[in-house]
Structure 1
Amino acid sequence: MTGLFQRAAESLQEAGWTCEPPTPAEEGVPSALHTAPETVIRWVSSFALLSNSDETVWFLSRHDYSTGDEGAFAWNEWEQQSMEAATTDDEAAAISRFWKRHLPILLSVRSGYEYLAVRDDGAIVHGAEPEFEEADVVFSQFEDLLRHIIARPTARNRVVERLLFDATGIPDTGTGH
């Protein structure tokens, strides 16, 4: 699996992304990652920084999931924003249920707020503001996302292509599949 991680990171670097090697991991897994698949934990531990050239799209690293991060955006920033916007207890409960099942792995602020997340069944979903919890499956499993990154440009997924490889950030009007 390490080879898959390395090839995906190299493909992103070829597309102009910045990749910094991981820093020594602290003991134990951050609590935010306790329910994450082992593959995802290993992926987020394989780099310290993985972002596009203007740092408007980035994969979250293991460090990002640790508490007390000094970054501009918390790993669960979109969940926090949704909770702040909730007007009823039922809305807040629905938001909480959604995010208990979804772990953000990539955040984007390039053309609005967007994310990719791993759902508790292993699927990769994409969501965007204003309704972050209205997410669509873009890959059935995490490894498919990595394989897509490596196979680019032969493989096509409009949402992922736009997030990872389209420097313009202009949203497409396709279905994303």
Structure 2
Amino acid sequence: MNDGKGKAQLREFMTWAEEQGWDVQRKSGSQLHLDSGITSRYKGLPDEYLEFLEVVETCVAPDEQTWFICEAEFNNSAETEFRWNEFEMLSLEAAAGDPAWESEITAWWDHHLPIVMSVEDGYSFYAIDLTTDSGAIVRGVEPEFEEVEKVADSFGEFLAWLMTNWNRL
């Protein structure tokens, strides 16, 4: 999103979210300091998503049931009930005692960075699929979080998709 179109798309999304009643807190600066556990595990994060994290402190839906995972959550410094990797932890809990299954789950999450979490109508998330060149966005739901469907080819497309589909989620 470091091009003019990407910045405009981000501004458009933030304006839309605020108009829809989302709690959008903008960061005072534009520095991004992600925990080394995130940066070492997730290589090649799309620039457009990193720019979102540079600008947005929090972004929470009006009903507080859906929210973007932002820098504070990734750095484990947010006061939230859910950890940024909550659904990976739940899957690993379910696989406890089965090393092969645990390994499979961890390997899957190594390539899928969760960016939005929801507790509306059960647990679900949106994640960046780092196995794709463009960083496609996928959606997973409980109980099989790792069985996902693609909703957008990129983070920018995801923001546009979200603005169009929010009332139908």
TM-score by length of 1: 0.79
* 3-state DSSP of counterpart to 1:20: strand
Residue by residue over 1:30-74, the C-alpha shift from the partner in whole angstroms, topping out at 9 and shown as x without a partner, is 331452222211112221111111211001112211134431111
Deviates more, 1:5-14 or 1:128-137: 5-14
Report the counterpart of residue 138 of structure 1 in structure 2: 151
Q: What residue in structure 1 maps to residue 64 of structure 2?
A: 55
Instruction: State yes or no: 1:81 paired with 2:81.
Output: no
Q: CA deviation at 1:23?
A: 4.4
Q: Judging by fraction of residues, say which structure has more helix.
A: 2
Tell me which of 94, 97, 118 is aligned to 2:128: 118
Partner deviation per Cα, 1:116-137 (whole Å, 9 max, x = no partner): 0001021100001001000111
The question of 1:70 aligning with 2:79 is answered yes
Single out whichever of 113-122 and 34-43 deviates more from structure 2.
Answer: 34-43
State the superposition RMSD in angstroms. Answer: 1.9
Give the counterpart letter for 2:27 in structure 1. Answer: P
Percent identity reads: 28
Q: Does residue 5 of structure 1 match 2:10?
A: yes
Q: 1:65 to 1:23 in 2, by over 3 A?
A: farther
TM-score (norm 2): 0.83
Measured in 2, the distance between the counterparts of 1:27 and 1:99 equals 22
Q: In the TM superposition, what whole-angstrom CA distance separates every residue of 1:53-103 from its partner, at most 9, and x where no partner exists?
A: 121100111221113443111111100111111041111011001100000
Alignment match of 1:104 (pick from 92, 107, 114)? 114
Local SS of the residue matching 1:94: helix
Gap change, CA 1:111 and 1:25, over 3 Å in 2:
same
SS of corresponding position for 2:150: strand
Structure 1: tracts of 5 or more residues without a match: 153-160, 170-177
